[in-house]
Structure 1
Amino acid sequence: MNLPPFDPARFEEEWAADRDVFENLAANGDNAAVARPIDVSFKGSADALAALEDAAEELGFTVLGDETSKGGARWLFLERSQPTDETSIRALTELCLRIEAHFGLEYDGWGCVAETGMKH
């Protein structure tokens, strides 16, 4: 799939939020080199979300599910496994912003559980 470029100003906005997530993960002893499931979410029209759901596997994601908020907003939640180092997350954020532009959706960030790399 040929995705359009992302808006650099939009990237800076998301990257500021990403830095907050990095700090939170670090405070919880995260080992950024450990690959783990990372979820991302998008908000938009039912048709746009359905189109993304159909393309998710091609884009390297699995579909976690969808939801409609009490206010009527529609969400799609996707997941993929990867590390959380800055280079990997930068690539994820850039990809999600390109998805946002292509499908006419609103990317709402990523999240994951801190991983120390220690066996439980």
Structure 2
Amino acid sequence: MSASDASHDERDAAVRAALAAQGDNGVTPRHTLFYFYGEGDHDDLNEVARRAGFVTRGQDDMTVLETTIPVDETSFAPVSSMMQSWAAAFQLDYDGWECAVVTN
């Protein structure tokens, strides 16, 4: 299975593992980016995301959503599900997320 075939749960776990390897448990809120691509409805995604409190940017066939949140598994699971739902609703490809490393 290639990385692009991995489920979002597996990909989310891989990001958290990379954070943990740097001493970050994900609990501290931090700047987090979510990436959407494709020829679906970016305008509607932007509208819904802004109403949900995200900063949105992008152009043409790409949208990036930004927010500050914790990324530990319990906190992040509902956000990941929401991103996947938005991708399906607006016929876009949700390519995953990235965040800053935060160690205390």
Return the TM-score normalized by structure 1.
Answer: 0.75
- Within-5 A mapping of 1:85-104: 85-104=72-91
1:42-78 deviations in Å (ceiling 9; x for gaps): 1122x60122112221123111x2145xxxxx21001
Count residues in correspondence.
Answer: 99
Query: Structure 1: which 5+ runs fail to align?
Result: 1-11, 69-73
What RMSD, in angstroms, separates the aligned Cα atoms of the two structures?
1.6
Aligned to 1:79: 66
- Can you give the 5+ residue segments of structure 2 that lack an aligned partner in the other structure? 1-5
Aligned to 1:116: 103
Asked if the contact 1:31/1:114 (under 8 Å) is kept, the reply is no
Q: How does 1:24-39 map to 2 (within 5 A)?
A: 24-39=18-33
**TM-score normalised by L of structure 2:** 0.85
> What is the alpha-carbon distance in structure 2 between the residues aligned to residue 85 and residue 77 of structure 1?
21
Q: Percent identity?
A: 31
Alignment partner of 1:56 is 2:49: yes
Moved over 2 A (4+): none
Could you tell me how far 1:92 is from its partner in structure 2? 1.2
